[in-house]
Amino acid sequence: MSLDNIKIVLMNRWILYFFIGLGLLFMSCNSTESSCPGESISQLRIGFTRETDSTTNHFIVYHPLLADSIYDSIVAPKYVDVPMDVTSDSMAVFIDFIIAQTDSTSEIKVTDVVAITYKSHSYIENLDCGVLMDFEIEEVYYTHNHLDTFYFRNKDINSEIVNHVEISY
Amino acid sequence: MWKYLISLLCLVQLAQAQVTLEEPKRQVFVRFGVDVSRLGLNVMSDYNHSGFEMSLDAEVKYRYFPTLEAGYNKLSHQTESINYQSDGNYFRLGLDYNILNYRQRFDRNLFFVGARYGFTAFSQQTSDVFLTNEWGTVELDFAPEDLSAHWVEAVIGLRGEIFKNFYMGYTIRVKQMLTHTEYGDIAPYWIPGFGKGSRVRTMGMSYSLFYAIPIKNPKPDFGN
């Protein structure tokens, strides 16, 4: 390209419009960037409501096959996120209520179990995020040794943060 | 009276002759281009990315350059938990409008704006997918998929003659997805010719080398 041509091109007012437009387009393109969900494997959220109970002083949520308990605290949980068993189509969660006796010197443990059966759905929305797995709850079972009421709120376990089941005690 | 008429006719003849002299014959050529920026795809991407792209354009009418572009794209990504690959051909058909004035047109340099319609047919395969959490590891199966997509582009760019009949230049593209086949369980990570499959609007850039094949009325040797 000759020097004359370069000058003509650089002086052209269209160049100015071009760079302004380019900046705006970059901004608009970046705004469409999608983000990855927090968990690649969606989790079951169990909501807890303390209604009649005033004696439980320790809460443990666990499964015997898992090395670590899912929740273990003297503070009553508002909710607990339970990792879904990706190797199966059913899963159980054990909830221990450690209850102080009236004489305050001893404790008893009351256990309830929440069990679900489900279908899993794996997919890739964005390779940068890896494989994602959602679930659909088919059936729910529970005991009510210490639970008062049980509510089945939402059958779809996905990136939406909602309580799927709720228990009150 | 006759003297005036003859003089007037002579003037008209002279004016027509002058116009004819000033009007250079329009050159007819076909410009073939190769996008050399495709060679650097692997450097610019976190994934194994390769491809090539070629183009053809010609000035069929003053300032108007119909353009055909065709290319191939392949992207693969392999980790301990996934093995992904997509590849396919794409085509773009469109028109460029040269903004430069007549004198530059004669030199066949371009500063252009234009539009494209793009189409791709591609396939993707995903294998060796493992998902692990506290409960253990599961291997997942995804069936291979054949997909297609259609999009439009607004383009702007330059072509400059560096040697006689040899050009280089770039094209900047803003692409808007129109439609695509319904995705299955795997949204395509990369759509050949379009870009990231998770977006509906993308930007792209080509940096190409061209050779203009003279067909009729070769360019006079005015120098560059």
E-assigned strand segments in B58-134:
64-78, 83-98, 110-127, 129-133
Tell me how close the Cα of B6 comes to any Cα of chain A, in angstroms.
44
**What is the dihedral sign for C-alpha B77, B46, B183, A153?**
positive
> Do A20 and A65 reside in the same domain of the chain?
no
Disruptive mutation site among A125, A131, A134 for chain B (greatest number of B CBs within 10 Å): A131
* Residues A153, A126 within the same domain: yes
**Pair (A145, A64) in one structural domain:** yes
A61 in the same domain as A6: no
- Options 2.60.120, 2.40.160, 2.40.128, 1.20.272; CATH for B26-216 is 2.40.160
CB atoms within 10 A of CB B90: 23
Do A56 and A115 fall into the same domain? Answer: yes
Q: Report the 10 Å Cβ neighbour count for A132.
A: 21
Whether the pLDDT of residue A104 is over 80: the answer is no
**Model pLDDT for residues B108-155, shown as the tens digit of each residue:** 788 899 999 999 999 999 988 888 888 899 898 888 999 999 999 999
More confident residue, B31 or A20: B31
Q: Which residues of B touch A116 (CB under 8 A)?
A: none
Give the dihedral sign, CA A63/B140/A131/A165.
Answer: negative
User: Which alpha helices (DSSP H) does chain A contain, by range?
Assistant: 3-11, 13-30
Report DSSP state, residue B157. Answer: E
* Torsion angle in degrees (nearest 10) through CA of A85, A86, A88, A90: 40
The per-residue pLDDT for A131 is: 86
> Do A18 and A74 fall within a single domain?
no
Q: Is A9 an 8 Å CB contact of chain B?
A: yes
Condensed to tens digits (0 to 9), the pLDDT of residues A83-97 reads 999 999 999 999 999
- Percent of chain B at pLDDT > 90 equals 40
Please indicate whether, in this complex, the C-beta atoms of A29 and B174 are within 8 angstroms of each other. Answer: yes
- In angstroms, the separation between the Cα of residue A146 and the nearest Cα of chain B is 27
Q: Do B131 and A65 touch (CB under 8 A)?
A: no
Residues A24 and A99 in one domain: no
Domain hosting residue A14, numbered range: 1-33
User: Which pLDDT score, from 0 to 100, does residue B193 have?
Assistant: 94
A10 interfaces chain B, CB cutoff of 8 Å: no
Mean pLDDT of chain A: 81
Distance CA B189, CA B166 (A): 36
Same domain for A96 and A66: yes
Which residue does chain B place closest to A133, by CA atoms?
B131
B209 in reach of chain A (CB within 8 A): no
Q: What is the pLDDT of residue B116?
A: 97
ipTM of the complex: 0.71
Could you tell me the CA-to-CA distances from A153 to A47, A132, B33, B141 in Å, in that order?
10, 22, 60, 31
Instruction: Report which of residues A21 and A76 the model is more confident about.
Output: A76
Amino acid sitting at position A27 = M
A118 lies in some domain:
yes
Task: Compare CB distances from B135 to A26, A87, A130 and report the shortest one's residue.
Answer: A87
Q: Is residue A38 part of a domain?
A: no
Please determine, for residue B5, whether its predicted confidence score (pLDDT) is greater than 60.
no
User: In which residue are the tokens 């940096």 written?
Assistant: B207
Evaluate if residue B63 carries a pLDDT over 90: no
A87–B172 CB contact, under 8 Å: no
Highest mean pLDDT among B2-6, B23-27, B142-146: B142-146
pTM above 0.80, yes or no: no
Tell me the pLDDT band of A21, cut-offs 50, 70 and 90: low
Query: According to the model, what pLDDT value does residue B223 have?
Result: 47
Tens-digit pLDDT profile for residues B156-180:
998 888 888 899 998 999 999 999 9
Q: Is A25 found in the same domain as A105?
A: no
Residue B120's pLDDT is 97
Q: Report if residue A154 sits inside a domain.
A: yes
Interface test with B, best of A12, A124, A132, A135 (most B CBs within 10 A): A124
- Work out the pLDDT band at A169, boundaries 50, 70, 90: confident
In a domain, A131, yes or no: yes
Q: Are residues A63 and A22 in the same domain?
A: no
The pLDDT tens digits for A122-146 are 888 777 788 889 999 999 999 988 8
**Lateral strand order in the sheet of A79-83:** A79-83, A43-49, A165-168, A149-152
Same domain, A152 and A78: yes
Shortest Cα distance, chain A CAs vs residue B20, angstroms: 26
* Total count of domains within chain A: 2
